[in-house]
Chains A and B, each alone.
Chain A
């Protein structure tokens, strides 16, 4: 399988452990990720908060580049990137807007590529294939699957899973032999890109998420978003300090668990680079 790969700024920045995990995992599954040449930032929260035109133009440029490279499918591991790409893809159904954007980004723009998030990528690989490739079933994992807000919402843009009670990440984990818990903060926001600018809110939200996962019997969290990972993993120590409680919840990327089930080591997947590691 040859898939267009749009890493986004986080994965080539301080969340490069996510990219390490992805590449190791996809390698083991024989999925070739070809990075889109010369991609640019998707604009993230800053663009859509401050400048509507820019928030369409930046992801539009990346869609156009993917088309130029001939990719029918584009994998965007960061849900903010994938949501922006899907948003502009939906918007260019309007022919007038499509032509305007094509001019603005100086490239032909058809919007025909399929955008995939990490969970959808595993579904493309096939859960049966995944199950068959498992070498070390994750018997000690009791995971709380954390979707955050951007994977499933807005539902009329991302069309991904049941946006109130999503289940697709759990399905992947079931194929790996792991157990999952039912808990109440699956789709609550973690604070996303507010880590630096509004730390209080992020810590408050992260505390609720981590505590609720623990209360429902989970021994780890699984995410598919680099910002969620930062807020729950890197900031966990700050949460513990602020609210005076011990959490000790390891936070894995979904690709970490898939990789481990396939027999890859923690070092190969970059799990040793997380802040909270299993004792």
Chain B
């Protein structure tokens, strides 16, 4: 299945309803590339903004907003997320894996 996903993306033939999912995955990977570990708030922010802009659904930005205080109350909301120590190596790994694939 993963091979099919990669091939579909490469040819840009994906059903429109999967756009949020693909955007999420892409933001996720970009997030780890920069931070080494996932920065949740950053990911959520960029993801929601991306979807809202691309689909014109501004309400998407505010959906689940009521969860934020709940998460904060439970000390699950981290404004400054943890980052990996050696981030440069992560970026190098990403660079190596993003070269166009050889046989």
Contact = CB atoms under 8 A, between A and B. Distances in A.
B93 A44 contact: no
Interface residues of A, number: 39
B52 interface: no
Interface string B2-32: 1101100100000000001101111011001
Given A14-B71, A54-B97, A273-B75, A49 B38 contact: no
Contacts of A12: 37, 82
Nearest to B63: A199
Contacts of A54: 29, 93-94, 97-98
Contacts of A13: 38, 40, 76, 78, 81-82
A40 B37 contact: yes
Given A9-B37, A41-B32, A196 B47 contact: yes
B100 to A, nearest CB: 11
A196 B70 CA distance: 16
A140 interface: no
A38 B93 contact: no
Interface of A: 9-10, 12-17, 37-41, 43-55, 57-58, 61, 104-106, 194, 196-198, 234, 273, 275
Interface of B: 2-3, 5-6, 9, 20-21, 23-26, 28-29, 32, 36-38, 40, 44, 47, 64, 67, 70-71, 74-78, 81-82, 84-86, 89-90, 92-94, 96-98, 101
